[in-house]
Each structure stands twice: as C-alpha cells, then as structure tokens.
Chains A and B, each alone.
Chain A
Amino acid sequence: MATKLTPRELAKKEDRLAPGHRLCAGCGASIIVRQMLAAIDEPVVIANATGCLEVATTIYPYTAWRVPWIHNAFENAASTISGVEAAYRSLVRQGKIPEQDVKFIAFGGDGGTYDIGLQALSGAAERGHQFLYVCYDNGAYMNTGIQRSSATPYGANTTTSPAGKVIPGKRQFRKDLTAIMAAHGIPYVAQAAPSQWKDLMEKTRKAVNSGGPAFMNVLSSCNRGWRHPTDETVEITQLAVDTCFWPLYEVENGVWKLNYKPKEKLPVEEWLKRQGRFRHLFKPENRHMIDELQAEVDRRWERLLHLCGEA
C-alpha cells in the first residue's frame, strides 16, 4: 500500500536526502528532490550529474544521501544510470542479486540536461532503460556562476548573457526540452513545479511506474541567479506556473494532458518583476522585450492547449 500523499503520512517517512547538505537557503533543488523521493516507497538508486545538487550534497568523507548514489561527470547522468540499470537487469537475470522493485533515477540541472547532457539523455531514452530522468531547471549554469544555458529565459541577465549597454540580456527563447522528450515517444513525460507539491509527487509516482524511460522537467528557483529573497522560492515558482511561463502538463503514452489551468492567466511580467535577473527589462527602452517574451509564452501556451485538447 503506497504512502498516502498527505503531509501527515509523508512526515512519518525518513528523508532520503538528509539534512546537513550545503545547498543554499531557499534552493529549489533540495525541495524537489525531497518531495520526489518521498513520493517513492520503493528502493531507489540515483545518478547525479555534476552541478549544485551533486557538489552540495557530498563532500568527501560526508554524504547527505541515504540511498545508493553515483556521480560520474557533467554530461553523462543518463548514460551512467543506463549502466547501473543494465547491471541490475543482468545480475537479477543471472540470479546474482535478488530482484526488488528498484527505481532508477537521474538528476541533472538544465545545463547538464538541455545542453551538454542532451545526447546521453536522448540515447538512454531511445534505448528504453527503466529510469526516470529529472531535470531541475533553474534556467542557467548556477553552480559555475550563473552562465546562460539553452533553458535560460529570453532577456535574462546572466554572466554570459549580461544586460549590457547594447545587448540587454539573453537574446534567444528557451529550448522546449519537455516537448523534445515527448517526441521520443517514451511512456511518460511531464512538466512540474515544487509549488504544486502534490502534482509533482503524483507525477513522480506515475513516472517511476510507467514501465519505461520517463522524463520530468521541474522548475527550480535559484535565488542566487534569479535574484529574489530566499523565502520567496515557492511563491515565485508558482507565479511561473500562473503566468503560463511554466505550464504543468504530462504526456502519458503519447496523450497530452494539461494538469493545471490558472483561473486567471497572469501577465508574464508579474513573474519577471519579482526577479533581479529581469530588472533591466523594465527600462522603457527594453519594454519591447517583455512584449516579445509575452508573445512567445502565449504562443507556446496556445500550442499546449491545442495539444491537450483544451483549445
């Protein structure tokens, strides 16, 4: 009987990511990992791409992980977990280790997933390994010092797309990785946010029980890069959802489903104005960039509604 997804029941479970790790106050990644692992009752084995989550949860001789965990390199969490999962199947088939319902999970940030790890992720998904890949997407290479990635929102000020006198921040719209993973035709793909924890946990359960590769893209605030107070993580994350910058949806066996439709779709600037990385966009001469971002958010939202049969 699976643990009920209620605060009362979940509070009885031991955290699989122990307190004492060195992630920043208000970091989205630790909230996401704890929520997702609490949703899974079965044993888990984790592969972690190089990034904040990796460096801040381990430093020899300490570890915050109460479950088997491996870090290999930046771009290869998906191929590393492929190897672990292949070893498990081989050893179980040969009777060398007992069969358990082990869930194999890879965590990577957007840099390690959208950019340098995309090939490894695509390959592992195509091969059909039984694993869940989780991208905690904070929209830049935060661990190395807030450099732009292909997940960075249009207009954002990062250390490699600085808001300069001539070029006001990042000039490209973000890559739609969730749709790219859906195009792989794997059993389960979802987009989620820790501000809607129950949705995130339910999706986690679906993902690890999908019978094949699964991918979840989870929005993860980084207050160092996004520039907001540490106690506003959940609120600002939810604003991304309510502005439809980060819609919550899933693609289960090819069927697209919208999981949350804001009662009132807020203008994207409601999300932007809470973050220092977009401050320069509010100068009058840059107003057009907010409009362009709004137009792109609207375009993607309409497309999603269409795909989900909501239009």
Chain B
Amino acid sequence: MSKFEALAGNEAVATAMRQINPDVVAAYPITPQTSTVQKFADFVADGLVDTEFVTVESEHSAMSACVGASAAGARVMTATSANGLALMWEIVYIAASNRCPIVMSLVNRALSAPINIHCDHSDVMGIRDSGWIIIFSEDGQEAYDNLIQAVRIAEHPDVLLPVAVCQDGFITSHGMERVEIYDDEDVKAFVGTYEPKWPLLDIEHPKTYGPLDFYDYYYEHKRQQVEAMENAQQVVLDVAAEFKEKFGREYGLFEKYRLDDAEVAVVVLNSTAGTAKVVVDQLRDEGLKVGLLKPRLFRPFPAQELAQALSHLKAVAVMDRSISFGAMGNAGPLYLELAAALATHGVHIPIADYVYGLGGRDILPHEIEQVYRDALQIAATGRVEQMVTYLSVRE
C-alpha cells in the first residue's frame, strides 16, 4: 500500500533512493541537495539499504567514482547542484560517452559568480549537450516519481545513458509537500535488477573501458550516442505507461494544462509551472483562453511533439530561468530550442521569451499574469515587439 507523507523534495528523492537501493552512491556535500545525501546516509547507517556509500572529497571525484562503479557493473546514483555539477562537468560528459546508466538527482540552482546558492537553471543548462537524458520535475512528487522511472530509462538496453532528474533548489527541494510514497516492494519490483552486459568485474572476460579512440572510430561512437538518444524518447514513454499502470500517475514528454482549447500558452519548467497553473485558472475565470505546457523531457528534446502540441496557438510565451549568454537575443535555452522546433516543424506562431527568477528571485503570480497578458497582446497583433524580456529586473 502506498502512503502519503509530508516530505521536502529532497526527502522524497532520498526515499526513492532507499527504495531503489542502488549498489553504489558516491556523493559530495553541496547545498541544497545535501539533505538528500544526509538522509540517504541515515538509511545506510541504519542498514536500510545495501548501498556502498562513497563519501568522496569532491564532485569531480563523485562522478569519477560513479563511472568506475557503473563500469564495474553496479547500479549507481548520485546527487548534486550548481557549482558541484560544474566541477563534475568533465566526467559528466565521460559518463554519457562511456554509456554508464548513472542516475543523478539534480537540484537546480544558480552558478557562481557571484556566489548565490538559490534556484535557477544555469547549472543543468550547462550539461544540456553532454549526452545525458534530462527530466524536469514540478514538485517533490514528480521528483520522486521521475527518479524511480529514471533507473529504468537509463538501464534500458536500447538507451544505456545517464539520466539527470531535476527539481528546483530550495523551492521544492526544501519545501515540504504531500508526497505519495509507494510500497517498497512495488518500487523494487518496478525498477527490477540491473543486469550489466559488459561489467568490468567479469574477471574471466577482461574488458578495456575508455581506450584511446581517434578519428577512425570516435565519430561512429558519437553517432551511436545519437542513436541511443533517439531511442530514449520512446523508452521514456514506455516506462511512463508502465508506471501509470502500476502507480496510477500519468507522465509523458510534457504536461498540458488547459492547453487544448487555449489561444496562448506559457511554456515553463519545474516549480514555476505550479504557480502558472494557478494563474491559468484565474485568467480562465475571466474568460481568457490561456493554457500551459510544462516540458518534462528536455533531453532528448521532443521537438516535433512540442510543435504539434502548440500548433493551434496564436502566441507562445516561454519562461526561462537561465540565459544563454551571447546566443540570439541573449535569450534562454528553452526559448531558443523551442523557437527552432516550431520553425523546423512548420509552426509559424509568434513566440517570445521571458527570463525570470535568476539566482532564486521570486516569481509571483502577478508577474506570470503579465506574461499571459503580453502573450494575449501578441496574439491580437500577431507581432512580437520584444523577443526577450527580463522580468522584474532593475535596469
């Protein structure tokens, strides 16, 4: 039987880790994900998991040990944030390239400098081209559910790629919410056991991992990573379908909220989607046809499906919690990618970008409301007056 508990997002994630019972966890304390690792350390100390817990001396070594353990044939997890992820970056790329199905809880927060610690998405956007599957979560429940599904996605023989499951630093990682925790045995049955195909620890059949690989094969290996990414999208859907059957909660490539009959929509990641839903309801009460699209799967980017889902709209407003400095219009990564997706798939509707919430700056309902009203104006005129707006910033 499942039960409802009052848990912070980090505690929900730590609970998922206990139920998944990975063979190895290597992690380094970096706020705000630290409470996940602390909670998990309690599970280790109390003998509730079989995990070998490696308390490494840096984030770089955390991911390095994860790669070693995953190659060895273990089911491996870690957790990080912000500068920790930035320090890991070299090995983040290697983990994907070595096809290590590591699962990482990534609590999104701002990169230095200036040092900040609060929520934005600059950390995860720095690894968006590293070969990891990236999944976003609105709240603790989704972070918990996504982490459980991530194990199955990562280890699927057609994928074998690492997965990062994101949630918003402090906003959901430390915000207590009602979370449905499934029965331990049901989660255990759902994730199954990991059967590595080429474990380094198969002593009788020695393997060489990470050889020098020049211009005669490197390119083909990169091409194979593309194939794995292509396969991942269907696997994400298949795992979600199985998850729904077992646990009743529905997940897809993205979530649509009052979108089907909407004329304008906001596209936004993670916790702000929750606030936006409230705004949608308020504006709907006024008779305005507004909706929301909340991407769940960011890598691989389901471009065609997103374009299809937004094709009936008169205007789209993207909200980005990071900046792609020097990119077109100094816009955010979500906008850039979505604008390209719409154009590529023949959906020619006005699309504007609203950067918000950097360094944990609060995003309030009335600000989101303003974005909707802007979008309605764009829909009315058919023109985007300003491609990128930096919401609520002192100029």
Contacts and interface: CB of A to CB of B under 8 A. Distances in A.
Interface of A: 43, 45, 47, 54-55, 58-63, 65-73, 75-76, 78-84, 86-91, 93-94, 96-97, 100, 102, 119-120, 122-124, 126-127
Nearest to A45: B200
A65 B64 contact: no
Contact of B211 (A60, A88, A89): A60
Interface in B61-101: 61-62, 64-74, 76, 90-91, 94, 98
Interface residues of B, number: 44
A86 B62 CA distance: 12
Nearest to A66: B206
CB-based closest 10 A-B pairs: A83-B68, A123-B57, A58-B211, A83-B65, A87-B72, A79-B61, A71-B210, A76-B64, A87-B74, A83-B69
Contacts of A119: 57-58, 61
Contacts of B98: 72
B2 interface: no
B65 A80 contact: yes
Contact of A70 (B62, B74, B210, B212): B210
Interface in B147-162: none
A76 to B, nearest CB: 4
13 contacts: A58-B210, A67-B206, A68-B200, A72-B91, A84-B68, A84-B72, A86-B26, A86-B69, A87-B69, A93-B50, A94-B23, A120-B64, A127-B54
Interface of B: 23-24, 26, 50-52, 54-58, 60-62, 64-74, 76, 90-91, 94, 98, 200-203, 206-214, 217
A45 B201 contact: yes
A69 B208 contact: yes
A59 B213 contact: yes
Contact of B212 (A58, A67, A102): A58
Contact of B206 (A55, A60, A69, A124): A69
B211 A126 contact: no
Given A45-B201, A68-B202, A73-B91, A79 B212 contact: no
B165 to A, nearest CB: 20
Contacts of B66: 83
A68 B206 contact: yes
A229 to B, nearest CB: 28
A47 B61 CA distance: 14
Contacts of B73: 87, 91, 97
Given A87-B74, A119-B58, A72 B201 contact: no
A90 B60 contact: no
Contact of B60 (A45, A76, A88, A89): A76
B69 A71 contact: no
